[in-house]
Amino acid sequence: MSDDDIFKVMDCALISISTGEQAQNLRELLYLLKAIHPGCIYYHFWGGLLRPRFDDPEFQNDFAIWSWRYLHDRKLAEQLSLIDPADYTDIEELRREVIEVIEMHLSESEIIPWAKTGDQFYFIRSQIVTFDTGIRVHRPEEMVELIPRLSLGSIFYHFIDARRRTTEGKNDFSLWLAGPGGEYDSLLRDLDEIDPYFTMLSDLRSKIGEIFSNHFPDTEVRA
Amino acid sequence: MNLLDQYAAIVGDDVIYHLRQLAAHLRGMHVVHVNSTREGGGVAEILNRLVPLMNELGINTSWEVITGDSRFYQCTKKMHNALQGNREDIQENLLHHYEKINAVNGNALNSKLEGADFVFIHDPQPALLLRSCPGRKGRWVWRCHIDVSHPYRPVWKYLREHVKEFDASIWSISNFAQPLPHPLYLIPPSIDPLGDKNMELPADDIEAYFKEWGISKNMPVITQVSRFDRFKDPIGVIQAYRLVKKNVPVQLVLAGGGATDDPEGARVLKEVRTYAGRDPDIHLLELPPDAHRAINALQRGSDIIIQKSIREGFGLTVTEGLWKGKPVIGGDTGGIRLQVINHHTGFLVNSPEGAALRIRYLLKNRHILENMGENARRFVLENFLITRQVREYLTLIVALIYGSTERIELNIPVPETNAP
């Protein structure tokens, strides 16, 4: 890795905005999904990582959770939960997949599932503010010490946000480590194997840190 | 030790570093918060801590309080109740008085508010100050702390005409947000882990309080802390307790504010007292509004916290209970749903029977109760402490400066100082 390949550590913070749009039943949800701001699709799949949730929720995205908890439609919840946003670099493709699953479900069911008043699906989008921390990393082994100290915003930026920001749809660490010599191929492989969707950000930070420290066991970490 | 260092000891250096970095982009900015009381109530509690924290982060933040007479507060009390859904008509002359008091305060605060970069107006009381500041140079945000999910329409219609003029509004959860022609930001409330209500307490203090109240430490204690209000379903809590008591020895504490200035509260308290009868294991505590340390001790000394509301705003008493490492059995409504996660931080219930079942389950499975309590504390640590709210205020300020784009990139690097 040359001296020019410096990793610029960024950070980010997310703020949620109510769109005012709400669905009372599955058909309304479908109707709104077709035209809703793309930021809502992103938020309802990925936003959960930066807002209150528990580490092993039964269903992974807000559409699945609503179907299960308020429409009481377990089958639909399971089908929606299977959609992994990490598989989609384009948010519109992800939107089409959600619509596809709901349309198929509606075509197979005899009734339209409804939620009680007060239990509507509320569409939310987010604004993301990204900023440069001023921290620079010159060698991968420096990550061993740095990663446990990074904010969860930095982890989100480099591991989650990177997937929609970069043309390769990969995390920033992997893109930084990829080089012609293949010196860090095994480290890269381990990083690429992390499934960010079924993890809380704090666990994701531990996992990335663990991978770097396994690859550079001789690096000392300050207390 | 400065405030930020004290918080770092609880939430971690990374969280405080993140705040410093974000705030560095806003250094020197002038922010003013306005509400109607400096002491008492959740808004004042939060501002008491939020304002010094923002100042320590380099943002010039001040806090102004409007003053009014009894007619003004009579009007704003009615407005508050109406926004929460009570059918409460407000006479026109009372509304005129509300407008007049806002104008008087607006004139007095004019120079401070018009010069500020950001003005946060909390709740309806000072909502009309904006009209008295035609030369304002900054952005104005209306922060609504009230559950406005089902407002009494005539009153909301009146207020909406005024708050729609703001540049943005903030709501506690999405269900509360009402359509307005500006961005509706969502920021849940938070608790202060350094305040009297949530700080660590010596075991001796807790024991002394329990002794004073006549609560035995040799029998499990389940507690609900809330106003004596039908929406909090205190009768349902007693019913749940009685169902549990058939199988497991247990004590119940219902703690709430005194009801001297609230006729409805006094009626409910009387009903609760009658329903509780002479059961020596039911303790009804009437605590003054500033009994923060006592409430803290009560929650810490309890085994399980209940918040069996039928309707609830955010439910900060739930947050407080979780923070003390207690599982919470809460009504399946409002903000309780954001905090009580079945089998992780407690249980959501829909009836006294449901509450009784979960209480028995937890009291019989102590290891699950303790494990859930640990989860509960961690959940609040990561999501509902004041440092998260500060972060969201900072993010919102940046977002409003840079417009409504989905992605805002602040490209100026902040010098790497005190990196974690």
pTM of the shown model = 0.91
In a domain, A161, yes or no: yes
Residue A52 lies in a domain: yes
In the structure, what pLDDT confidence band is assigned to residue B208 with cuts at 50, 70 and 90? Answer: very high
Contact B22 A11 (CB under 8 A): yes
- Identify the band that residue B414 occupies on the pLDDT scale cut at 50, 70 and 90: low
Confidence of residue A113 (pLDDT cuts 50, 70, 90): very high
Q: Is pLDDT at A25 greater than 90 in this prediction?
A: yes
Give me the residues of B, 333-362, that contact A with CB < 8 A.
333, 338-339, 341, 344-345
Clarify whether residues A111 and A188 are in a common domain: no
Same domain, B314 and B265: yes
Q: Is there a single domain that holds both residue A143 and residue A76?
A: no
Same structural domain, A23 and A69: yes
Confidence label for B179 from pLDDT (cuts 50, 70 and 90): very high
Shared domain for A68 and A112, answered yes or no, is yes
- B149: nearest CB among A118, A134, A150: A118
B414 domain residue, yes or no? no
Is residue B419 a part of any domain in this protein?
A: no
B208 plus B184 within the same structural domain: no
Mean pLDDT within B131-142: 96
pLDDT of residue A56: 53
Burial class (CB in 10 A: 0-12, 13-18, 19+), B376: buried
Q: Are residues B179 and B231 in the same domain?
A: no
The reply to whether A52 touches chain B by the CB within 8 Å rule is yes
In a shared domain, residues B278 and B355:
yes
Number of structural domains found in chain B = 2
pLDDT of residue B144: 95
Do the chains contact at B408 and A151, CB–CB below 8 Å? no
Query: Is B293 inside a domain boundary?
Result: yes
| A85 in any annotated domain | yes
Is residue B246, in this structure, part of any structural domain at all? yes
Let me know if residue B272 belongs to a domain: yes
Residue finishing a domain among A93, A125, A157:
A125
Average predicted confidence (pLDDT) for chain B: 93
Which pLDDT does position A44 carry in this prediction?
94
Q: Tell me the residues of chain B between 131 and 190 that have a Cβ less than 8 Å away from chain A.
A: 149, 171, 174-175, 177, 179, 183-188
Q: Which of A106, A125, A144 is the last residue of a domain?
A: A125
Residues 6+ apart with CB under 8 A from B157: none
| Substitution target from B186, B311, B383, B412 for chain A, most A beta carbons within 10 A | B186
Q: Is residue B417 part of a domain?
A: no
Average pLDDT over residues B258-282: 84
- Do residues B215 and B145 both lie within one domain? no
Count the domains in chain A. 2
Query: Is the residue at B415 inside a domain?
Result: no
Residue from B57, B148, B382 whose CB has the most chain A CBs within 10 Å, to mutate: B382
Write the ipTM. 0.89
3-class DSSP state of A51: coil
In this structure, is residue A220 part of a structural domain? no
Q: Is the pLDDT of residue B262 over 70?
A: no
Q: Which residue of A has its CA nearest to B173?
A: A18
Q: How many Å lie between the alpha carbon of B338 and the closest alpha carbon of chain A?
A: 7
Q: How far apart are CA A113 and CA A101, in angstroms?
A: 15
The CATH number of the domain holding residue B30 is 3.40.50.2000
Is the pLDDT confidence value at B270 over 50?
yes
| Tens-place pLDDT, residues A123-140 | 999 999 999 998 999 999
Binary contact (A132, B404; C-beta < 8 A): no
Measured in angstroms, the CA of B164 and the nearest CA of chain A are apart by: 14
Q: Work out the mean pLDDT of chain A and round it to a whole number.
A: 89
Q: What is the pLDDT of residue B362?
A: 98
Task: Quote the domain boundaries for residue A97.
Answer: 13-125
Listing DSSP states for A67-120 in one string gives HHHTS--HHHHHHHHT--GGG-SSHHHHHHHHHHHHHHHHHH-SS--BPPTT-P
Q: Output the pLDDT for position B401.
A: 94
Q: Which residue of B174, B399, B412 is in closest CB contact with A15?
A: B399
What mean pLDDT do residues B92-108 have? 97
Q: Write down which residue in A72, A91, A125 finishes a domain.
A: A125
Please determine, for residue B133, whether its predicted confidence score (pLDDT) is greater than 90.
yes
One domain for residues A120 and A29? yes
Cα(B240)–Cα(B361) distance, integer angstroms: 13
A32 and A66 inside one domain: yes
Rounded Cα gap, residues B186 and B116, in angstroms: 23
Domain assignment of residue B378, given as a range: 203-382
Q: Do B75 and B154 share a domain, yes or no?
A: yes
